[in-house]
């Protein structure tokens, strides 16, 4: 993940100072344990300033408003108590070429600052500290005690100390190429490392961007750099310093990441705030998506293995109970031929009642014929009772297995992160598993309440809308809340998969191509997605119902028609939009 370096931070602050100072602080909200947002209002507009001390995505930028859920974090409560309603009058660096900012708050513009909010953008050492005008710490996002750092502890009530001064040389536009080159050539190491070790305020991403701009390989050793490359790179170096001095940044999107210099192939953006806000939001979403998907997949896989073992065990016990009638037949035969029994016999051969074929019956030699027959009758009764007890248990476990398989299919249908809806769909699956008792959570804070995640939407050859549920919550909404009497409901036959709805206006009749198109989608969004052909049923929504007590996403249907879906064909279909919600 690209980090906010000194150049990016300078560009962000330049925009914030020109567009958002002075501003009234109207609200403080903490999104998570690494991020707060400050509601700022100027004479012209209102916006949300995100301040994050995330170890991989520390930043400060204008971003989207927070969710409408209660904020129970202590840090934000203390900020609200001290600085809410004050004016943000300045955003200064604590020292030249430092990635630590001083956000100053006073009662009104022009008054001396009463509070300082120090924002340290330093990767894993990032932090946010509120101090008084005398720099006494009132609250800190991440407290650092003396055991964690004997050099610079950050504790409530202690004086705030600036981060240790950097030892690298400060880049200067006045420095000559000869001096600059001599400093970098002192040790024959890769050019990128030489720059990072000798000068402050640079990052690996920026040095590589400079190399691309100058068409110089920054991984080559400094003793192998040609005169032409030294000259080209020094010109780019000076261009960078000139941009910092004049603050003439050109934000844009690159194939991997973003730029504030506008060098190379990039798509221009409206502001540095936009690229930084969107980039880190997407990166953190993608990171959370991967972690959550792995967690859900592992938990669902574990439950599936346990359920399948239980099903196998119950089926084995049922097979054993199939012998119940055989024990009764043995007892009947033995009671009918008591005269043939002799003391000490361990087996007896008797003619079967129906076939007349000889049947060998094992006996307990220590029991007489009647006692052996009674033992067979008892065994018969025990196995019958076992079947009566096992059959409902097996049906229950098989129903639970079908449900968990349905959840597994929903997770598999979103293999990678593409947009926030993918992450929200996984959150809905996680919430559902918690409600059903398959997951537990130690987080007492409720997850932000969001708008329902949009269904996947496609268009048939005739232009009809096809909606596909992303998870069990959406499947239920699609089938029992969203469907009308004119629609058609599709599902893979006896195979876990999504509920699929072909939306039809009143009086419209779909063509065979529309039915096939929808069946292909139902097959594709099922556990049989890798098959060539999958049986798919479709019926009217009024013939689909949920049994009492059924788990989410489970439904029964009747009056169905079977059609063969081709999931490999549907693999080529592209969703048209995702603007319909359940």
Q: Which of 366, 391, 416 is the last residue of a domain?
A: 391
> Which residue reads 């043939």 in tokens?
340
Q: Which two tokens stand for residue 226?
A: 């040609």
- Which sign, positive or negative, has the C-alpha torsion 538, 542, 543, 545? positive
135 and 43 co-located in one domain: yes
d(CA 378, CA 369): 14
d(CA 498, CA 501): 10
491 domain-assigned:
yes
The boundaries of the domain holding residue 488 are 456-570
Beta bridge partners of 40: 25, 47
d(CA 438, CA 430): 9
- Phi-psi sector, 494: left (phi>0), alpha (psi -120 to 50), beta: left
DSSP state of 446: P
The beta strands (E) that lie in 388-509 are given as 456-459, 465-468, 488-492, 500-502
Length of the chain measured in residues: 582
d(CA 519, CA 508): 18
67 and 136 co-located in one domain: yes
435 domain-assigned:
no
Closest CA to 16 of 82, 81, 63, 83: 63
533 domain-assigned:
yes
Q: Across the beta sheet with 267-268, what order do the strands follow? A: 258-259, 252-253, 267-268
Number of domains in the chain: 4
134 and 194 co-located in one domain: no
Q: Which of 270, 296, 331 is the last residue of a domain?
A: 270
CATH of the domain at 260: 1.10.8
76 domain-assigned:
yes
Say how many C-beta atoms besides its own lie within 10 A of residue 480's C-beta. Answer: 15
Q: What is the pLDDT of residue 451?
A: 63
206 and 332 co-located in one domain: no
32 and 131 co-located in one domain: yes
Q: What is the pLDDT of residue 384?
A: 77
Beta bridge partners of 259: 252
19 and 111 co-located in one domain: yes
d(CA 384, CA 389): 9
SS3 label, residue 230 = helix
Helix axes 420-435, 272-321, angle to 10 degrees: 40
Beta bridge partners of 119: 101, 128
pLDDT along the chain (582 residues), means of 10: 94 96 96 95 95 95 90 94 96 94 95 96 94 95 85 90 89 95 94 95 94 95 95 96 95 92 90 95 94 95 94 85 76 88 89 85 90 87 79 89 93 90 92 90 51 86 94 94 95 95 92 96 94 95 91 93 95 72 44
Q: Which two tokens stand for residue 116?
A: 């300082």
Beta bridge partners of 101: 93, 119
576 domain-assigned:
no
18 and 132 co-located in one domain: yes
d(CA 84, CA 581): 37
Helix (H) or strand (E) holding 193: helix 191-198
Q: What is the pLDDT of residue 148?
A: 83
Q: Which of 347, 364, 391 is the last residue of a domain?
A: 391
> What is the widest separation between alpha-carbon atoms in the chain?
122
Do 546 and 476 meet the contact criterion of CB atoms below 8 Å apart?
Answer: yes
DSSP per residue over 269-322, as a string? -S-HHHHHHHHHHHHHHHHHHHHHHHHHHHHHHHHHHHHHHHHHHHHHHHHHHT
d(CA 519, CA 484): 19
Report the Cα 389 to chain-centroid distance in Å: 41
d(CA 545, CA 483): 12
**What is the end-to-end Cα distance of the chain in Å, rounded?**
34
d(CA 7, CA 5): 6
- Write the CA distances from 533 to 516, 566, 568, 574, integer angstroms: 12, 5, 8, 20
Helix (H) or strand (E) holding 117: strand 115-120
CATH of the domain at 68: 2.30.310.10
308 domain-assigned:
no
526 domain-assigned:
yes
- Write the CA distances from 559 to 484, 487, 556, integer angstroms: 17, 14, 11
59 domain-assigned:
yes
533 and 483 co-located in one domain: yes
- Write the CA distances from 429 to 249, 292, 297, 412, integer angstroms: 43, 10, 11, 12
462 and 560 co-located in one domain: yes
Q: What is the pLDDT of residue 445?
A: 45
* Cβ contacts of 308 within 8 Å, gap of 6 or more: 401
């Amino acid at each position: 993940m690209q980090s906010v370096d000194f150049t990016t931070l300078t560009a962000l602050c330049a925009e914030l100072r020109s567009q958002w100072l002075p501003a009234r602080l109207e609200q403080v909200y903490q999104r998570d344990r690494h991020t707060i947002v400050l509601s700022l209002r100027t004479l012209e507009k209102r916006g949300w300033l995100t301040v994050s001390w995330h170890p991989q995505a520390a930043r400060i930028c204008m971003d989207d408003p927070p969710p409408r859920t209660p904020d129970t974090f202590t840090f934000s409560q203390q900020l609200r108590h001290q600085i809410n309603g004050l004016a943000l009058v300045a955003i200064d660096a604590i020292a030249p070429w430092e990635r630590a900012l001083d956000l100053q708050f006073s009662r009104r513009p022009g008054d001396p600052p009463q509070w300082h909010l120090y924002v340290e953008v330093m990767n894993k050492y990032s932090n946010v500290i509120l101090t008084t005008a005398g720099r006494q710490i009132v609250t800190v996002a991440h407290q650092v005690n003396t055991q964690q750092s004997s050099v610079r502890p950050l504790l409530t009530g202690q004086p705030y100390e600036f981060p240790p001064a950097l030892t690298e040389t400060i880049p200067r536009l006045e420095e000559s190429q000869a001096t600059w080159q001599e400093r970098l050539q002192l040790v024959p190491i890769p050019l990128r490392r030489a720059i990072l070790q000798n000068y402050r305020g640079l990052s690996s991403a920026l040095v590589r961007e400079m190399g691309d701009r100058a068409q110089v390989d920054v991984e080559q050793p400094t003793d192998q750099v040609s005169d032409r490359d030294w000259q080209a790179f020094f010109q780019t170096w000076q261009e960078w310093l000139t941009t910092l001095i004049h603050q003439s940044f050109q934000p844009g999107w690159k194939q991997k990441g973003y730029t504030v210099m506008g060098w190379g192939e990039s798509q221009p953006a409206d502001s540095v705030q936009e690229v930084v806000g969107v980039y880190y939001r997407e990166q953190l979403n993608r990171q959370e998506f991967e972690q959550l998907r792995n967690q859900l997949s592992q938990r669902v896989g574990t439950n599936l293995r346990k359920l399948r073992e239980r099903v196998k065990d119950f089926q084995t016990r049922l097979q054993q109970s199939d012998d119940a009638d055989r024990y009764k037949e043995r007892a009947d035969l033995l009671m009918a031929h008591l005269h043939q029994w002799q003391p000490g016999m361990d087996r007896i051969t008797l003619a079967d009642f129906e076939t007349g074929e000889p049947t060998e019956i094992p006996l307990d030699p220590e029991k007489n014929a009647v006692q052996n027959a009674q033992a067979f009758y008892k065994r018969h009764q025990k196995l019958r009772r076992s079947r009566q007890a096992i059959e409902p248990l097996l049906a229950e476990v098989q129903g639970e297995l079908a449900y968990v398989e349905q959840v597994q299919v929903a997770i598999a249908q979103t293999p990678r992160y593409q947009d926030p809806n993918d992450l929200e769909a996984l959150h809905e699956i996680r919430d559902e598993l918690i409600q059903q008792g398959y997951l537990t959570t130690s987080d007492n804070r409720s997850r932000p309440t969001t708008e329902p995640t949009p269904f996947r939407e496609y268009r048939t050859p005739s232009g009809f809308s096809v909606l596909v549920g992303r998870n069990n919550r959406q499947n239920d909404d699609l089938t029992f809340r969203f469907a009308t009497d004119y629609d058609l409901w599709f599902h893979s036959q006896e195979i876990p998969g999504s509920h699929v709805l072909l939306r039809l206006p009143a009086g419209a009749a779909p063509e065979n191509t529309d039915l096939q198109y929808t069946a292909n989608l139902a097959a594709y969004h099922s556990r049989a997605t890798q098959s060539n052909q999958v049986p798919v049923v479709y019926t009217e929504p009024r013939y689909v119902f949920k049994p009492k007590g059924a788990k989410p996403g489970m439904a029964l249907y009747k009056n169905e028609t079977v059609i063969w879906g081709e999931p490999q064909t549907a693999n080529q279909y592209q969703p048209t939009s995702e603007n319909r919600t359940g």
